[in-house]
């Protein structure tokens, strides 16, 4: 079993990934929670099931090229479920849907995004399998789903949610934003002329946080010096998406800038605040 998993791991490490995808998608998909860490004990009752899925996805030629065979009309770019895996054992469960893009002419972009999705699902299965093999009295739920949040003739924004629940829960959301006409990956820094956007957007988010807390005492954000790790600035590649009406929305994982009960938090940035910093108005208006 271990040799097969090692072989699969080596195969993934040898898959050529374009530099931009490696630096943006990989970092986004595998970003670790800043505040909440879930500790899992290695465990093997479900290792065989995990290996079966992994082997099917990675070593079966039909499965590997399934997305290229999905019929599309007029080069419609869409998101489909590549695979769904469900398993329950004692107090542990996993339910993971793996999304995949279909319909791009730019097959390099399409295939590498799909490989990243599959790799992420593999890691979730392996995490569950290890926990199931030894932690028989423990509790762990892993759930992952996806949703197309924006789908216009020009834009496609896809959100993938990953939720893990052990002693407590943790949810993170990751977005892929694509220019459907030019078939390119849209990154946050590609929207702007220079890095001034980091400070401007961060300041606007702080102002929104303060207004929300003033209007609703139940809302709390970590922005004061008294907080253990106050929010100071967004990351240059902060998670984001673009709405159907071309507005920029910045997203934070659960526990990233607020207590867990606030969940995943989002802030729509007024276009007038960033208009002078934008490269153009194709995406953000």
Sheet strands (E) in 53-122: 78-89, 92-102
Dig out the tokens for 224 from the structure: 């004061």
Is 211 exposed, middle or buried (CB count within 10 Å of its CB: 0-12, 13-18, 19+)?
A: exposed
Q: Name the residue with tokens 């040898």.
A: 14
Domains 2-185 and 189-277 share a fold: no
Q: What is the pLDDT of residues 155-185, one digit of tens each?
A: 999 999 999 987 677 888 999 999 999 999 9
Distance, CA of 166 to CA of 142 (rounded, Å) = 9
Q: What is the pLDDT of residue 136?
A: 58
Q: Where are the domains of the chain?
A: 2-185, 189-277
| 3-state DSSP assignment of residue 109 | helix
What would the CATH number be for the domain defined by 189-277? Answer: 3.90.640.20
Eight-class DSSP state of 189: G
What is the chain's pLDDT, residue by residue, as a tens digit (285 residues)?
344 445 444 544 454 444 444 444 455 444 444 443 333 333 333 344 444 444 444 444 444 444 444 443 345 888 988 888 889 888 889 999 999 999 999 999 999 999 999 999 999 998 888 888 875 566 889 999 999 999 999 999 999 999 998 767 788 899 999 999 999 999 999 999 999 999 999 999 999 999 999 999 999 999 987 878 899 999 999 999 999 999 999 999 999 999 999 999 999 999 999 999 999 999 999
- Give, in words, the CATH class of 2-185: alpha beta
């Amino acid at each position: 079993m271990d040799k097969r998993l090692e072989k699969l791991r080596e195969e993934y490490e040898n898959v050529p990934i374009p530099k931009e995808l490696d630096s943006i998608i990989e970092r986004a998909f595998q970003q670790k929670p800043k505040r909440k860490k879930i500790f899992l004990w290695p465990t093997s009752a479900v290792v065989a099931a995990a290996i079966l899925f992994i082997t099917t996805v990675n070593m079966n030629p039909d499965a590997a090229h399934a997305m290229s065979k999905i019929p599309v009309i007029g080069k419609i770019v869409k998101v489909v479920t590549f695979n769904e895996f469900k398993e329950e054992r004692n107090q542990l469960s996993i339910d993971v849907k793996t999304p995949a893009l279909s319909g791009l002419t730019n097959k390099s972009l399409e295939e590498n995004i799909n490989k990243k999705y599959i790799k992420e699902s593999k890691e979730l299965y392996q995490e569950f399998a290890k926990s199931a093999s030894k932690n028989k009295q423990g509790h762990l739920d892993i759930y992952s789903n996806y949703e197309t949040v924006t789908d216009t003739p020009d834009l496609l924004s896809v959100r993938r949610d990953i939720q893990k629940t052990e002693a407590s829960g943790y949810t993170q959301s990751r977005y892929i934003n694509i220019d459907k006409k030019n078939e390119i990956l849209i990154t946050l820094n590609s929207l702007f002329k220079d890095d001034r956007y980091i400070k401007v957007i961060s300041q606007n988010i702080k102002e929104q946080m303060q207004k929300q807390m003033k209007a609703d005492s139940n809302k709390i954000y970590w922005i004061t010096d008294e907080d253990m790790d106050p929010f100071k600035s967004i990351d240059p590649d902060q998670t984001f998406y673009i709405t159907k009406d071309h507005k920029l929305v910045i997203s934070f994982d659960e526990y990233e800038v607020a207590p867990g009960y606030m969940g995943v938090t989002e802030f729509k940035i007024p276009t007038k605040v960033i208009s002078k910093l934008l490269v153009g108005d194709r995406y953000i208006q």
